[in-house]
Structure 1
Amino acid sequence: MAYDEEVADRFRNAMLGLPDVSEKRMMGALCFLLNGNMIGGAFRTREGVPSFLFRVGKDNESEALSRPHASVMNNGGRRMGGFIIVPDEMCDDEALAGWVTLCLSFVGNLPPK
Protein backbone atom coordinates (compact mmCIF):
# COMPACT_ATOMS: atom_id res chain seq x y z
CA MET A 1 0.00 0.00 0.00
CA ALA A 2 1.21 3.46 -0.83
CA TYR A 3 -0.36 6.66 0.33
CA ASP A 4 -2.07 9.25 -1.83
CA GLU A 5 -0.49 12.72 -1.58
CA GLU A 6 -3.80 14.54 -2.16
CA VAL A 7 -5.41 12.62 0.70
CA ALA A 8 -2.38 13.38 2.87
CA ASP A 9 -2.68 17.09 2.04
CA ARG A 10 -6.37 17.09 2.98
CA PHE A 11 -5.62 15.39 6.30
CA ARG A 12 -2.70 17.76 6.96
CA ASN A 13 -4.88 20.82 6.21
CA ALA A 14 -7.63 19.55 8.51
CA MET A 15 -5.14 19.68 11.39
CA LEU A 16 -3.61 23.08 10.68
CA GLY A 17 -2.91 24.98 13.86
CA LEU A 18 -2.80 21.94 16.14
CA PRO A 19 0.39 21.89 18.20
CA ASP A 20 2.63 18.84 18.51
CA VAL A 21 1.44 17.14 15.29
CA SER A 22 4.04 15.19 13.34
CA GLU A 23 4.08 12.90 10.31
CA LYS A 24 5.53 9.42 9.96
CA ARG A 25 5.38 6.71 7.32
CA MET A 26 4.06 3.51 8.85
CA MET A 27 1.69 0.66 8.05
CA GLY A 28 1.96 1.57 4.35
CA ALA A 29 0.48 4.98 5.03
CA LEU A 30 1.55 8.50 5.81
CA CYS A 31 0.37 8.80 9.40
CA PHE A 32 -0.23 11.87 11.50
CA LEU A 33 0.63 11.80 15.19
CA LEU A 34 -0.25 13.96 18.18
CA ASN A 35 2.40 13.84 20.90
CA GLY A 36 3.68 10.63 19.29
CA ASN A 37 0.26 8.90 19.18
CA MET A 38 -1.28 8.12 15.81
CA ILE A 39 -4.36 10.17 14.87
CA GLY A 40 -4.80 8.61 11.44
CA GLY A 41 -3.36 8.68 7.98
CA ALA A 42 -3.61 8.65 4.22
CA PHE A 43 -3.19 5.46 2.20
CA ARG A 44 -4.42 3.46 -0.77
CA THR A 45 -6.35 0.26 -0.22
CA ARG A 46 -5.21 -2.98 -1.85
CA GLU A 47 -7.65 -2.11 -4.63
CA GLY A 48 -5.88 1.24 -5.09
CA VAL A 49 -8.64 3.42 -3.59
CA PRO A 50 -7.27 6.62 -2.00
CA SER A 51 -8.56 6.55 1.57
CA PHE A 52 -8.34 7.98 5.06
CA LEU A 53 -7.44 5.94 8.12
CA PHE A 54 -8.87 7.28 11.37
CA ARG A 55 -7.85 6.12 14.85
CA VAL A 56 -11.02 6.62 16.87
CA GLY A 57 -10.42 4.08 19.64
CA LYS A 58 -12.51 1.04 20.44
CA ASP A 59 -14.94 3.00 22.63
CA ASN A 60 -15.84 5.26 19.67
CA GLU A 61 -16.00 2.46 17.10
CA SER A 62 -19.81 2.02 17.12
CA GLU A 63 -20.35 5.74 16.62
CA ALA A 64 -17.75 5.80 13.86
CA LEU A 65 -19.29 2.85 12.02
CA SER A 66 -22.68 4.59 12.04
CA ARG A 67 -21.21 7.29 9.80
CA PRO A 68 -21.54 6.97 6.01
CA HIS A 69 -18.94 4.87 4.15
CA ALA A 70 -17.01 3.88 7.29
CA SER A 71 -15.53 0.41 7.72
CA VAL A 72 -13.15 -1.21 10.20
CA MET A 73 -9.58 -1.59 9.03
CA ASN A 74 -8.34 -5.11 8.36
CA ASN A 75 -4.61 -5.70 8.20
CA GLY A 76 -3.53 -9.08 6.86
CA GLY A 77 -6.94 -10.53 7.65
CA ARG A 78 -6.83 -9.21 11.21
CA ARG A 79 -9.56 -6.81 12.34
CA MET A 80 -7.99 -3.63 13.72
CA GLY A 81 -10.45 -2.43 16.35
CA GLY A 82 -10.65 1.32 16.77
CA PHE A 83 -9.23 2.01 13.29
CA ILE A 84 -11.70 3.16 10.62
CA ILE A 85 -11.29 3.50 6.85
CA VAL A 86 -13.22 5.99 4.72
CA PRO A 87 -12.63 6.41 0.97
CA ASP A 88 -11.40 9.91 0.09
CA GLU A 89 -14.14 10.47 -2.50
CA MET A 90 -16.78 9.77 0.16
CA CYS A 91 -15.34 12.22 2.71
CA ASP A 92 -15.96 15.91 2.05
CA ASP A 93 -14.19 18.61 4.08
CA GLU A 94 -17.01 18.87 6.63
CA ALA A 95 -16.99 15.11 7.21
CA LEU A 96 -13.19 15.13 7.44
CA ALA A 97 -13.32 17.81 10.15
CA GLY A 98 -15.78 15.64 12.07
CA TRP A 99 -13.51 12.61 11.76
CA VAL A 100 -10.49 14.56 12.97
CA THR A 101 -12.51 15.81 15.96
CA LEU A 102 -13.52 12.24 16.82
CA CYS A 103 -9.91 11.05 16.52
CA LEU A 104 -8.66 13.87 18.72
CA SER A 105 -11.27 13.06 21.38
CA PHE A 106 -9.53 9.69 21.73
CA VAL A 107 -5.88 10.41 20.94
CA GLY A 108 -5.86 13.69 22.87
CA ASN A 109 -6.43 11.74 26.08
CA LEU A 110 -3.46 9.40 25.58
CA PRO A 111 -0.18 10.08 27.39
CA PRO A 112 2.58 11.53 25.19
CA LYS A 113 5.15 9.09 23.82
Structure 2
Amino acid sequence: MAYDEELADRVRDLVEGEPGLSEKRMFGGLAFLVNGNMAVSASSQGGLLLRIEPTRTESLVDGQHVRRFEMRGREMDGWLRVDVAVLGTDEELRRWVDHGLAYARTLPPK
Protein backbone atom coordinates (compact mmCIF):
# COMPACT_ATOMS: atom_id res chain seq x y z
CA MET A 1 0.00 0.00 0.00
CA ALA A 2 1.29 3.45 -0.87
CA TYR A 3 1.32 6.24 1.66
CA ASP A 4 -1.54 8.76 1.82
CA GLU A 5 -0.40 11.57 -0.48
CA GLU A 6 -3.02 13.98 0.86
CA LEU A 7 -1.75 13.44 4.40
CA ALA A 8 1.84 13.86 3.19
CA ASP A 9 0.86 17.19 1.58
CA ARG A 10 -0.78 18.32 4.83
CA VAL A 11 2.37 17.44 6.78
CA ARG A 12 4.53 19.17 4.15
CA ASP A 13 2.51 22.36 4.60
CA LEU A 14 3.10 22.23 8.37
CA VAL A 15 6.84 21.61 8.21
CA GLU A 16 7.59 24.04 5.40
CA GLY A 17 10.46 26.32 6.35
CA GLU A 18 11.79 24.03 9.09
CA PRO A 19 15.60 24.39 9.15
CA GLY A 20 17.40 21.25 7.98
CA LEU A 21 14.23 19.70 6.52
CA SER A 22 14.36 16.93 3.93
CA GLU A 23 12.00 14.27 2.63
CA LYS A 24 12.85 10.62 2.10
CA ARG A 25 11.00 7.42 1.27
CA MET A 26 11.28 5.22 4.38
CA PHE A 27 9.37 2.21 5.72
CA GLY A 28 7.14 2.39 2.62
CA GLY A 29 6.01 5.90 3.51
CA LEU A 30 7.23 9.45 3.03
CA ALA A 31 9.35 10.64 5.95
CA PHE A 32 10.14 14.22 6.92
CA LEU A 33 13.57 14.55 8.48
CA VAL A 34 15.25 17.34 10.43
CA ASN A 35 19.03 17.35 9.96
CA GLY A 36 18.82 13.74 8.80
CA ASN A 37 16.70 12.52 11.74
CA MET A 38 13.18 11.29 11.09
CA ALA A 39 10.50 13.39 12.77
CA VAL A 40 7.27 12.19 11.15
CA SER A 41 6.19 10.06 8.24
CA ALA A 42 3.02 9.61 6.20
CA SER A 43 2.86 5.87 6.77
CA SER A 44 2.22 3.22 4.13
CA GLN A 45 -0.12 1.64 6.69
CA GLY A 46 -2.20 4.82 7.00
CA GLY A 47 -1.87 7.68 9.44
CA LEU A 48 1.46 8.81 10.83
CA LEU A 49 4.60 7.12 12.00
CA LEU A 50 6.01 9.50 14.58
CA ARG A 51 9.33 9.68 16.39
CA ILE A 52 9.15 11.11 19.90
CA GLU A 53 11.16 11.39 23.11
CA PRO A 54 11.11 7.75 24.36
CA THR A 55 10.20 8.77 27.92
CA ARG A 56 6.98 10.38 26.59
CA THR A 57 5.71 7.23 24.89
CA GLU A 58 3.43 6.00 27.66
CA SER A 59 1.82 9.41 28.19
CA LEU A 60 0.90 9.73 24.50
CA VAL A 61 -0.39 6.20 23.83
CA ASP A 62 -4.16 5.94 24.11
CA GLY A 63 -4.58 2.26 23.17
CA GLN A 64 -7.08 3.03 20.44
CA HIS A 65 -5.83 5.58 17.91
CA VAL A 66 -2.29 6.15 19.18
CA ARG A 67 -0.10 3.15 19.88
CA ARG A 68 3.53 2.12 19.95
CA PHE A 69 5.12 1.29 16.62
CA GLU A 70 5.76 -2.42 16.37
CA MET A 71 8.72 -3.90 14.51
CA ARG A 72 9.09 -7.66 14.19
CA GLY A 73 6.59 -8.19 17.00
CA ARG A 74 8.34 -5.81 19.39
CA GLU A 75 6.76 -2.55 20.54
CA MET A 76 9.22 0.33 20.41
CA ASP A 77 9.35 3.22 22.88
CA GLY A 78 9.97 6.51 21.10
CA TRP A 79 7.96 5.53 18.01
CA LEU A 80 4.19 5.90 17.60
CA ARG A 81 1.54 5.02 15.06
CA VAL A 82 -1.16 7.69 14.95
CA ASP A 83 -4.38 6.74 13.15
CA VAL A 84 -5.84 9.10 10.58
CA ALA A 85 -9.02 9.18 12.72
CA VAL A 86 -7.33 11.65 15.10
CA LEU A 87 -5.80 13.79 12.34
CA GLY A 88 -8.98 15.32 10.93
CA THR A 89 -8.18 18.97 11.56
CA ASP A 90 -5.00 20.89 10.89
CA GLU A 91 -4.75 21.60 14.63
CA GLU A 92 -4.89 17.88 15.47
CA LEU A 93 -2.30 17.08 12.83
CA ARG A 94 -0.07 19.96 13.98
CA ARG A 95 -0.16 18.62 17.55
CA TRP A 96 1.37 15.31 16.45
CA VAL A 97 3.76 16.76 13.89
CA ASP A 98 5.06 19.17 16.53
CA HIS A 99 5.92 16.24 18.84
CA GLY A 100 8.04 14.71 16.09
CA LEU A 101 9.72 17.97 15.12
CA ALA A 102 10.52 18.84 18.73
CA TYR A 103 12.31 15.53 19.29
CA ALA A 104 14.15 15.51 15.95
CA ARG A 105 15.52 19.00 16.72
CA THR A 106 17.21 17.64 19.87
CA LEU A 107 19.17 14.97 18.00
CA PRO A 108 22.66 15.49 16.58
CA PRO A 109 22.72 16.02 12.80
CA LYS A 110 23.46 12.97 10.66
TM-score by length of 1: 0.84
**Is the CA contact (8 Å cut-off) linking 2:55 and 2:78 kept in structure 1?**
yes
**Is the CA contact (8 Å cut-off) linking 2:52 and 2:78 kept in structure 1?**
yes
In the alignment, the residues of structure 1 paired with residue 22 and residue 92 of structure 2 have an alpha-carbon distance, to the nearest angstrom, of 22
2:27 is matched with: 27
Could you tell me which of 67, 70, 80 is aligned with 1:71? 67
2:42 is matched with: 42
Q: CA RMSD in A?
A: 1.8
Q: Any idea what SS the aligned residue of 2:99 has?
A: helix
Runs of 4+ in 1 over 3 A off after TM superposition: none
Q: Does 1:83 align with 2:79?
A: yes
The number of aligned residues is 109
1:8 is matched with: 8
Could you tell me which of 89, 93, 96 is aligned with 2:93? 96
Percent identity of paired positions between Structure 1 and Structure 2: 40
Q: Unpaired segments of 5 or more residues in structure 2?
A: none
Q: Unpaired segments of 5 or more residues in structure 1?
A: none
**Aligned amino acid, residue 27 of structure 2:** M
TM-score by length of 2: 0.87
2:58 is matched with: 62
